[in-house]
Structure 1
Amino acid sequence: QPQFAEHRVVGVSWYAPALQVTVEGFHKRFSSLGQFQERNSDRPEFAQGRGRARGLDVYLRWQTEQHALWGSYTLSEVTEQFRNQEPRHATHYQPHEVKGAYELTLPNWAFSVTNVWGSPTAEDDTPYWRTDVGATYFLPMERADTEVGLSILNLFNRRNPRIGQTYLLPEGDSYATLGIPFTASVYARVRLHRIPGF
């Protein structure tokens, strides 16, 4: 049976020069969720269930010619129910999440920093925390626009579990797939101008 989801969102936004504020509430129902469960036999059984996600999102953005600053906060609850069991929090349930970003634009340069913090999930008592930074240099040329950039993901090399990638084992233990480690990359991009007559 295919999975079905019904998503309802209601929100309000307020705009002013250089400022935006948005508040949204959401409610989402899932059906035909699938899960392998260990019963009394050695073979896991496939069970279908249903779930619900609900919460509140708050988003703020401030922007000028050189600066852009935004932040968001999410308060949520995610529950699942299989067979005739009582509803319980999903393994990826994360009640609080805070995101923030800042970008500085200068002549020929752009710098950015982003940060994500999430409270511990239902299966892991370690909060999620990741900081990314980046810098880009723009070099305008006669026949092409060139940019060279440097980005660093997970600047502090936090060992973050990937949300939604936690697995339960028959003995009651669990393990999680780790997210992106410290990753530095350099890139270059060249965009040629159109030559008149072609």
Structure 2
Amino acid sequence: MADGAPIQPQFAEHRVVGVSWYAPALQVTVEGFHKRFSSLGQFQERNSDRPEFAQGRGRARGLDVYLRWQTEQHALWGSYTLSEVTEQFRNQEPRHATHYQPHEVKGAYELTLPNWAFSVTNVWGSPTAEDDTPYWRTDVGATYFLPMERADTEVGLSILNLFNRRNPRIGQTYLLPEGDSYATLGIPFTASVYARVRLHRIPGF
């Protein structure tokens, strides 16, 4: 209940149509999508000092393109998304949602050697409806494999957000009654080291 009025549960309908093409080392996929949302909730500042709860509906539509090329030592992925997300509350005109991001490009590369594996991933997104800063994040990683007689040892290093970009989290931008907005920042520069040991089965046990 909100101000004595019932709140309807949210509903979403997702439709996807696509086509894929495969070759020995290559895959190409193209998909179109259309999503409808109802009973979205939002607090709005109207003619009083007290924000009012409003329910509305939304729509998302777009196109996804995915490519993958892989050999014994190399693997390369890439994707592009073109989309539009709109929402409408009360009798207002439809507008772009705060997390609306028209373009997003993702890429990843992995190199596998006899005892090593190296990877790099990159995500770039165009500015959202409420933030004019594009999203850009690069992650890198390296793993060393050490086979032993009774165990397999793996040691790795990963760095998230290599260039320490201040990226707002998509979908976590909030509007304030005064017209301002604030956003939650994503992962900062983060380096981590890990080790994993997998014991071989001992005969007779």
TM-score of Structure 1 vs Structure 2, range by shorter chain: over 0.9
Question: C-alpha separation between the residues in 2 aligned to 1:48 and 1:99?
Answer: 34
Q: Across the two proteins, how many residue pairs are aligned to each other?
A: 198
1:197, distance to aligned residue in structure 2 (A): 2.1
* 31, 46, 51: which one aligns with 2:53: 46
- 1:161 aligned to 2:156? no
Could you tell me which runs of 5 or more consecutive residues in structure 1 were left unpaired when the two chains were aligned: none
1:27-83 deviation per Cα after TM superposition (whole angstroms, max 9, x unaligned): 000011111111222221111111000000000000000000010000000000111
Question: C-alpha separation between the residues in 1 aligned to 2:88 and 2:203?
Answer: 64
1:137, distance to aligned residue in structure 2 (A): 0.4
Question: C-alpha separation between the residues in 1 aligned to 2:197 and 2:15?
Answer: 43
**Matching residue of 1:130:** 137
Question: C-alpha separation between the residues in 1 aligned to 2:197 and 2:133?
Answer: 42
1:173, distance to aligned residue in structure 2 (A): 1.0
1:94-113 deviation per Cα after TM superposition (whole angstroms, max 9, x unaligned): 00000000000001100000
Question: C-alpha separation between the residues in 1 aligned to 2:141 and 2:67?
Answer: 22
SS in structure 1 opposite 2:201?
A: coil
Q: Normalising to structure 2: TM-score of the pair?
A: 0.95
SS in structure 1 opposite 2:43?
A: strand
Question: C-alpha separation between the residues in 1 aligned to 2:169 and 2:130?
Answer: 12
* 137, 149, 152: which one aligns with 1:145: 152
Question: C-alpha separation between the residues in 2 aligned to 1:6 and 1:145?
Answer: 46
User: How large is the Cα RMSD of the aligned pairs?
Assistant: 0.7
1:137-186 deviation per Cα after TM superposition (whole angstroms, max 9, x unaligned): 01111111110100000000001111001011111111111110000000
Could you tell me which runs of 5 or more consecutive residues in structure 2 were left unpaired when the two chains were aligned: 1-7
1:119-142 deviation per Cα after TM superposition (whole angstroms, max 9, x unaligned): 000000000000000000011111
SS in structure 2 opposite 1:172?
A: coil
Question: C-alpha separation between the residues in 2 aligned to 1:42 and 1:194?
Answer: 69
Q: Normalising to structure 1: TM-score of the pair?
A: 0.98
Question: C-alpha separation between the residues in 1 aligned to 2:176 and 2:187?
Answer: 23
Question: C-alpha separation between the residues in 2 aligned to 1:86 and 1:197?
Answer: 73
Deviates more, 1:126-135 or 1:38-47: 38-47
Question: C-alpha separation between the residues in 1 aligned to 2:81 and 2:197?
Answer: 38
